[in-house]
Amino acid sequence: MAVQAQEQAPQPGLAVFGPAGLDGLAVERHAGDMSWVRAGGFSIPDQSTTTTVATTAVEDAEVDHYPVSSLPPSLPVAIDIPAIGVHSSLQSLGLTEDGAIEVPQPGPRYNDAGWYRYSSTPGSVGMGSLGSAIIVGHIDSVEDGPSVFFRLGALQPGDEVMVTRSDGLVAVFRVDAVRVYPKDEFPTTLVYGRTPHATLRLITCGGVFDRSSGSYEDNIVVFATMIGAY
């Protein structure tokens, strides 16, 4: 999802898959593979084949947040991930001419994360064309080195992600699992399918950088479920 960094980005291992890995995120039907589009974007599954994804229940968190199962739609404006030192404003991303999710383009906002505006707003359930709220970000760049999601692979189950919304509420998500998928074996429905709860997916590139193609071979995906809001 970018180009090679001057240092190796953290890659998740078996220890960080968590209880909501492939066993905890059961898929009713696979809608087809998704691959990274080198021009910049993620392929979108055919919505006629997208089915609901059953997820493992997340245990109640002992935090001083108002517990909610979902929130009304409201545009996201910022994301904070304290465990890996991320604070970023969020830009709105749409589709490329090829029908792929846009990624932050070169310029002043290249290193900001972006919310895919046809997915659910963070904290809402199934309000967009895709079930979960989708936020993407670059891993690095030639000019600046590490980018906003450089350390995404270092997240652990139980870490928290906070998304500030335009209505003033902050939706709090807890990481269920962190996984790495080859781009040509990306589980579209598992990542994009509708879920019964307010869920969040964070996506960036990972794995080995292929100099011949100018891209990374894998995608890192963080699965998270909302545990409250304040």
Q: What does each C-alpha distance from 217 to 3, 41, 67, 177, 226 come to in angstroms? A: 11, 14, 39, 20, 30
What does DSSP say about strands 113-116 and 86-93: parallel, antiparallel, or unpaired? parallel
Average pLDDT over residues 152-162: 97
Asked, for residue 165, whether it belongs to a domain, the answer is yes
Asked, for residue 127, whether it belongs to a domain, the answer is yes
Asked, for residue 5, whether it belongs to a domain, the answer is no
How many domains does one find in the chain?
1
Structure tokens at 5: 């960094």
* pTM for this model (two decimals): 0.76
**Cα separation, 195 vs 51, whole angstroms:** 9
The β-bridge partners of 173 are 161, 226
Among residues of the chain, what percentage have pLDDT more than 90? 48
Asked, for residue 7, whether it belongs to a domain, the answer is no
User: How many Cβ atoms from other residues are within 10 Å of residue 30's Cβ?
Assistant: 14
Q: What is the pLDDT of residues 183-210, one digit of tens each?
A: 889 898 899 888 888 999 999 999 888 8
Average pLDDT over residues 5-32: 41
Asked, for residue 188, whether it belongs to a domain, the answer is yes
pLDDT of 149 strictly over 50: yes
Q: What is the pLDDT of residues 120-130, one digit of tens each?
A: 999 998 765 56
Asked, for residue 8, whether it belongs to a domain, the answer is no
pLDDT in the model for residue 69: 76
pLDDT in the model for residue 11: 64
pLDDT of 5 strictly over 90: no
Read off the CATH number of the domain in which 137 is found: 2.40.260.10
Asked, for residue 133, whether it belongs to a domain, the answer is yes
pLDDT of 155 strictly over 90: yes
Q: What does each C-alpha distance from 157 to 58, 133, 176, 177 come to in angstroms? A: 11, 18, 5, 6
Asked, for residue 3, whether it belongs to a domain, the answer is no
Range of the domain at 85: 14-229
**Cα separation, 210 vs 22, whole angstroms:** 27
Mean pLDDT of all residues belonging to the chain: 77
